[in-house]
Amino acid sequence: MTAKIHDIADQRPHLMVVASDGAHVIPRELIQSVIDGKKPSTILTEPVVQRIIEEWLQKVTN
């Protein structure tokens, strides 16, 4: 299996999400565009979405 690697140095700030399928570095702007409905959530992999929800749930229930 090979992974697509993209240079996102010019897309700062970005977030690192450690999901079940590995570490992902995602531009904050991309996450915000999903939140705003400008991009579909399907642009993120299922493991990434799961990890984001998991971390959010931990924050709101502590």
Residue ranges of domains in the chain: 14-61
Tens digits of per-residue pLDDT, 30-42?
Answer: 999 999 999 999 9
Mean pLDDT value across residues 34-58: 95
Tens digits of per-residue pLDDT, 6-18?
Answer: 776 777 788 899 9
CA–CA distance from 60 to each of 3, 6, 33 (Å)?
A: 33, 32, 22
**Among candidates 11, 27, 6, 45, which has minimal Cα distance to 53?**
45
Distance CA 59, CA 40 (A): 24
H or E segment to which residue 22 belongs = strand 22-27
Residue 29 has pLDDT above 60, yes or no: yes
